[in-house]
Amino acid sequence: VYLTREEEKMLEGEYGEAAAKALRLIVRVGEALGAERLIKISHAHVSGISYDNIGEAGLTFIRDLYEGGGRASVFSTYNPAGVEAWGSRVIPVEPAFWRKQIEIIETLEAMGFQRSMTCIPYQLRRPNLGEHLAWGESSAVAIANTLYGARTNREGGPIALAAAITGRTYYWGLHLSENRKPSVVVELRGAPPLGELEAGILGYIVGESLEGKIAYIDAKMATVRSVQALCAAAAAAGSTAMCIVRGFSPEDEGPPVAAEDKITLSIKDIEAKRRDISSANLDEVEIFFTGCPHHDLDKIKDILRLLNIQGIKRLEKPIWVAVPGVYSSRLRDLAEKLAQRNVLLLPGTCLVVTRLGRLVKAVATDSVKTAFYLPRRHNVGVALASLKSFVRRYGLR
């Protein structure tokens, strides 16, 4: 890997022990992949910061970098944690787990990371077209490449952390223009614009069947949130890191002329896949979960609006909503209002990285990414359903 004079100095320790260690890690991975040089990045986003995921080894890695003088040299954010940002209101955790998780968060913030606790870093800093990033959350990676035309590979937690400190990553994969072209077309015929749930199911099919190839998605999407759901599900079900979505992706140049393959689907295939993914039904679920990826403030207000329009005073079974931890203080009043209706906000966390399996046995969700992970990680049954259908079923007037 070719290094600039500045990078050589960093490697030799002129910018401190942690920066040298971090750059060594990036160079080693770059060499293994065949990268010719490094590239400066403008935003690092670190995933895998739940103590449930990384345990003592991960905490020690972060602490050592901090103690070695490691500081974020670019705008840096971090993923949801294994606890709620405002304390255990909904999901109980043991005091020892809480302390370890808080130490991880405090160490990252002492290193200069923005208070974030979210998987939607694009809401905290909007990526620009062609900009280089080093992000480690698979859904956010796919969204950055697909919706914003920014450039990032799917980085592991340690690499994203090393990139935050050095301000660089290896110049390889999706950082290069020639690797960002779609090679396969996925067409959805005769379907109305897809909402989040249906778009997520389409994403699941893309991720599962295309082994990380870049697909040109020729389907109507109802909203940007539908595209985000598609990306999140494709990234969970396969190694998808980018799609081109007709009408939404800034790098859309039309379907590839010499596509390797074309998959044609209908709305019946989407419905069949929904049944296939679901392992529980609406009657047996204990909660509805939404906010994977996290919901922003507008979406939370939409939920309240939906309850008002339908005249719902309270829900018989709760709705849990994952939102960015960084919004927690702004959300207190709204959270009170929602809690009276049995809608509970979970700031800074998500069901996949918590200890959910001890609490419930079956969950309804409109997130296909959640539906992918909950049975695998927590042995929890999942019913894929829209929020509206849950509200109709469990709303009390």
- The verdict on 325 binding ligand F3S (CB under 6 A) reads no
Omega within 30 of 0 (cis) for the link into 293: yes
Q: Which residue of 10, 199, 350, 362 would you call a contact of ligand F3S, by CB under 6 A?
A: 350
DSSP string, 99-119: HHHHHHHHHHHHTTPPS---S
With beta carbons less than 8 A apart as the criterion, state whether 365 and 290 touch: yes
Q: State the minimum distance, in angstroms, from the CB of residue 32 to ligand F3S.
A: 27
Q: How far apart are CA 237 and CA 214, in angstroms?
A: 14
Q: How far apart are CA 1 and CA 158, in angstroms?
A: 19
- Contact pattern from residue 115 through residue 154 relative to ligand F3S, giving x for each residue in contact according to CB under 6 A and a dash for the rest: ----x-------------------x---------------
Q: State the minimum distance, in angstroms, from the CB of residue 276 to ligand F3S.
A: 20
Chain centroid to CA 259: how far? 29
With beta carbons less than 8 A apart as the criterion, state whether 226 and 248 touch: no
Q: Which residue of 43, 225, 369, 378 would you call a contact of ligand F3S, by CB under 6 A?
A: 369
Q: Where are the alpha helices (DSSP H) in the chain?
A: 5-11, 17-33, 51-67, 95-110, 138-143, 157-166, 196-210, 224-237, 267-277, 297-309, 332-340, 368-373, 387-394
DSSP 357: G
Q: Which residue of 29, 91, 241, 322 would you call a contact of ligand F3S, by CB under 6 A?
A: 322
Structural tokens at position 7: 């990078």
At residue 65, φ and ψ (nearest 5 deg) are: -65, -40
The stretch near ligand F3S (CB under 6 A) out of 18-26, 196-204, 215-223, 286-294 is 286-294
Q: How far apart are CA 186 and CA 332, in angstroms?
A: 43
- Contact pattern from residue 73 through residue 102 relative to ligand F3S, giving x for each residue in contact according to CB under 6 A and a dash for the rest: ------xx----------------------
- Estimate the crossing angle of helix 224-237 against helix 196-210, to 10 degrees: 30
Residue 293 vs 381, nearer CB to ligand F3S: 293
The stretch near ligand F3S (CB under 6 A) out of 85-93, 147-155, 211-219, 345-353 is 345-353
- Residues in 160-199 that interact with ligand F3S by CB under 6 A: none
Q: Which residue of 82, 127, 293, 395 would you call a contact of ligand F3S, by CB under 6 A?
A: 293
Structural tokens at position 195: 């909402």
- Residues in 2-61 that interact with ligand F3S by CB under 6 A: none
Q: Which residue of 10, 20, 352, 384 would you call a contact of ligand F3S, by CB under 6 A?
A: 352
Residue 10 vs 321, nearer CB to ligand F3S: 321
Q: State the minimum distance, in angstroms, from the CB of residue 79 to ligand F3S.
A: 5
Q: State the minimum distance, in angstroms, from the CB of residue 183 to ligand F3S.
A: 26
Residue 329 makes CB contacts below 8 A (sequence gap 6+) with none
The stretch near ligand F3S (CB under 6 A) out of 86-94, 127-135, 246-254, 347-355 is 347-355
With beta carbons less than 8 A apart as the criterion, state whether 347 and 86 touch: yes
The stretch near ligand F3S (CB under 6 A) out of 21-29, 272-280, 289-297, 354-362 is 289-297
Which residues sit at the interface with ligand F3S, rule CB under 6 A? 79-80, 119, 139, 232, 292-294, 322, 350, 352-353, 369
